[in-house]
Copies of this chain bind each other. A is one copy, B any other.
Amino acid sequence: MAIAELLKETVASEKTQSLPQHGRCHACAFKPRCLPAALDGEALTAFEEIVTRQARLLKAGQVLVRQGERMCDVYAVRVGSLKAVDNSTAGEGRVMSFHFPGSIIGLANLEYKEWTQTVVALEDTALCRIPVTALSAAVQHQLIRLISQSLQREYARHLLLANKGSAVKVATFLLEIGANRELRNLVAARFTLPMPQFDVANYLGMRNESFSRGFTALKHRGLVERRSNQIHLLDIPALRELQTSP
């Protein structure tokens, strides 16, 4: 498959250190570590047996699931990235979350049996389809940890949305992306944003223009650099400091 080949290259070229060796991931043909980071050991094995070969591939812009559809599966992201958009209110929708390799899509919808968000691929993306019926016994404990984590993350986002100015929001977002990449053994300080800027602004609860102003503020302080969607974090400690004090 062309997409898989392409993405294989991406993963290989961006790798910076040798990956942990806790068993090869059979569900994912080319590299270990493409399943949720929180899963390991026997849980990982159990997980793999469930999802083996249940792959789904999307090109940039394609829709994974649409708000209102019946939900029968959750999806684990292997490579690529997606956004989850809420269209329930007027206007052009609000980006509720981004999903990168390792995250599971649909954790907020297990209770209501239909999708409450529309999920769209931001680039060529590969996923594992996981029937909710498969979420029993063996993996439930892991699942609980994952949802709990997500909930924690959302609380952090509340703090961000409520208090902070635009520059701080931008800085926090970029640091989050970096931290996420570190978990995936990629360089934290230099990366390409897969989504357009206005998606990020939307996610952070502000207008495109405000994001732009916030970003140039950081740029003028020499904390970040950018060409197109190529981001370079020049002074991560200073960015971290921004989050707490002013």
Identify 18 residue pairs between A and B in the complex whose beta-carbon atoms are under 8 Å apart, listed by A's number.
A86-B159, A88-B159, A89-B159, A90-B244, A94-B162, A108-B151, A109-B148, A111-B148, A116-B155, A137-B137, A140-B144, A143-B144, A144-B144, A147-B148, A157-B158, A161-B161, A161-B205, A162-B205
Q: Mark A69-100, 1 if CB is under 8 A from B, else 0.
A: 00000000000000000101111001010000
Question: CA A150 – CA B112 in complex, angstroms?
Answer: 12
Contact B205 A108 (CB under 8 A): no
> Contact residues of A with B, CB < 8 Å?
38, 86, 88-91, 94, 96, 107-112, 116-117, 135-137, 140-141, 143-145, 147-152, 154-155, 157-159, 161-163, 205-206, 244-245
Extra pairs beyond A110-B145, A158-B158 (6, CB < 8 Å): A96-B155, A109-B148, A111-B152, A135-B144, A140-B140, A163-B205
Q: Is the CB of B205 within 8 A of A152?
A: no
> A152: which of B94, B116, B155, B157 is its contact (CB, 8 Å)?
B116
Give me the 5 closest cross-chain CB pairs, A-B, nearest first.
A162-B205, A110-B148, A108-B151, A154-B154, A147-B147
- Do A158 and B96 have beta carbons less than 8 Å apart? yes
Partner of A244 from B89, B145, B148 at Cβ < 8 Å: B89
Q: How far is the CA of A161 from the CA of B90 in the complex (A)?
A: 15
Give the residues in chain B near A96, CB-CB below 8 Å. Answer: 155, 158
Determine the distance from Cα of A205 to Cα of B91 in the docked complex, in whole angstroms.
22
Taken together as a complex, chains A and B put the C-alpha atoms of A107 and B147 apart, in Å, by 9
Shortest distance between the CB of A199 and any CB in chain B (Å): 13
Q: Across the interface, which residues of B come within 8 angstroms of A108, CB to CB?
A: 148, 151-152, 155
Q: How far is the CB of A144 from chain B (nearest CB, A)?
A: 6
Chain B residues closer than 8 Å to A112, beta-carbon distance = 152
Least distance between A86 CB and chain B CB atoms (Å): 6
Could you say which of A96, A108, A136, A206 has the most chain B C-beta atoms within 10 Å of its C-beta?
A108
CB distance from A79 to the nearest CB of B (A): 24
For residue A157, which residue of chain B has the nearest CB?
B158
